[in-house]
Chain A
């Protein structure tokens, strides 16, 4: 197995790098997009709430692979040429953002409504009350489930392999088919995924304890 690792070192590392990059980009953007749609789901304006709901329900209930294929095949056909990595990362971002929206919305809903009422009663706008009072409290509730979403995101990034995203899974497939050392290859791929996901799990547990 060591030989397999060293002789394919550059392929593994490059796959690891693309997986890491895709995960970081998707994490960053899905957190922003997800939080935005979470807020849309609780605003007083009914039309905005419906938009938020529709977005979440659509992307939460379609397989990640289908979303990714859509961006990989359909977008280049009609709009703009994008490569597999970009398509996969966009698909991953949108899919994850729907789950993050649900998680953050649940966090917002678990904040005592009296907090919003008090803030509004002092003349704060809905947005100011959200920003200064409700969201800071909601994020505390949301950290444990958000950690799960981040770990899922890293694992789901393996979808890039289907659209030639050059990620860890893609490289693993390539190495396995060249060397026929199938088992060893996927063990190494699994270990590389753990290198990303275990620290996230550990850090989230730490954060959870610190904030509790």
Chain B
């Protein structure tokens, strides 16, 4: 779609946000597929997850390809974002433990698995102006 004026953009943004709201109802698996993640084997993890979701017909799960998340020491990484907005970041997800993501974090909501990375990113800076 070509945006020819401000009204077009407004409409497009509304539909994009609606699309996001709809997809936020799924459990999202954000796979870090930058050069760094890919080098560590993230594309194989992606394939494994994709096949599993298809073969087991798991609904309400969405795979999302994202760029570098910044946790190079624990690549490949998969972040699981739940419909309620909560999320866990999982590190060192290789081909052999990729399916744990589905078993432990999609079918269940495990909060104490060994590959959970503690993140320390301020999440609400766009609201409070980032004041320390």
B is a partner of A: no
Interface, chain A (partner B; CB < 8 A): none
Interface, chain B (partner A; CB < 8 A): none
